[in-house]
Amino acid sequence: MSKIIDEKGKLFGLVNIVDLLVALVIIGVIAVVGIRLTSSSRNADGQNPLNSEKEIYVTLYGNSIVPEAIETLKPGDKLVANNVFTDAEIVSVDMEPAAYITTNSDGEAILAEHPIWKDITVVIKDKVNASNPILKAGNQEVRVNYNFILKTQQFEANCKVRDIELRDIGSTEATEESQVESEAVSE
């Protein structure tokens, strides 16, 4: 054993054993940190989710709103959050008579159309990082059946999220599908 470590504490007479252990610990820490950083920034397909920006299309449903208020909503309007405009914008707005439950002359509950109020279906779009566990549009969390405050410069209403679609940026599919759905709803 004396030949491996000499009286000065050097390994094979070349390197101090303490210096060697410190260098190995530093190399090990650097390797572990490097592996953790590269593996955590990649998904199961080996792609970096930090670059997974997509367009999110959120379908909102609001009920029992006066038609005059709905007429202030127009495609292209920017959403407002925390008193500033966001990147989210309205893609389409559809209005139909509000449905409500009333009773007929026999006292039976029936579903009828309200003579004044309207229900709205609004599609908004924004850009999101699709790898995030929480999706946001207009600086608000979005999940199906989640409450969403639809707020523009001239309009505000509580809505429910009905649908969420993620599309590649620049894809026209979502816009075309939303328009087809909007036409089907208005008919």
Q: Which range has the worst mean pLDDT, 4-18, 32-46, 106-120, 171-185? A: 171-185
* pTM greater than 0.75 (yes/no): no
CB 91 within 8 A of CB 75: yes
Positive or negative: CA dihedral 150, 70, 91, 123: positive
Model confidence at 1, pLDDT cuts 50, 70, 90, reads very low
Q: Which amino acid is at 110?
A: I
Q: Is the pLDDT of residue 66 over 80?
A: yes
Nearest to 141 by CA among 119, 156, 126, 121: 126
Q: Is the pLDDT of residue 173 over 70?
A: no
Q: Which helix (H) or strand (E) holds 150?
A: strand 147-151
Return the exposure string of 15-41: e unless at least 16 CB atoms fall within 10 Å of the residue's CB, then b.
eeeeeeeeeeeeeeeeeeeeeeeeeee
Q: What does the pLDDT read at residue 68?
A: 95
Cα 125 to Cα 78, 92, 155, 161: the distances in Å are 10, 10, 17, 13
CA angle 73, 78, 80 (to 5 degrees): 100
Q: What does the pLDDT read at residue 120?
A: 97
Tell me the three state secondary structure of residue 55: strand
> What are the residue boundaries of the structural domains of the chain, listed by start?
10-40, 49-186
Model confidence at 175, pLDDT cuts 50, 70, 90, reads very low
Beta-carbon contacts of 55 under 8 Å, excluding residues fewer than 6 positions away, are 125, 126, 127, 128, 166, 167, 168, 169, 170, 171, 174
Q: What does the pLDDT read at residue 50?
A: 57
Percent of the chain whose pLDDT exceeds 90: 64
Q: What mean pLDDT is reported for the chain?
A: 85
φ, ψ of residue 156 to 5 degrees: the values are -150, 135
Model confidence at 15, pLDDT cuts 50, 70, 90, reads confident
Q: What does the pLDDT read at residue 177?
A: 52
Q: Is the pLDDT of residue 53 over 60?
A: yes
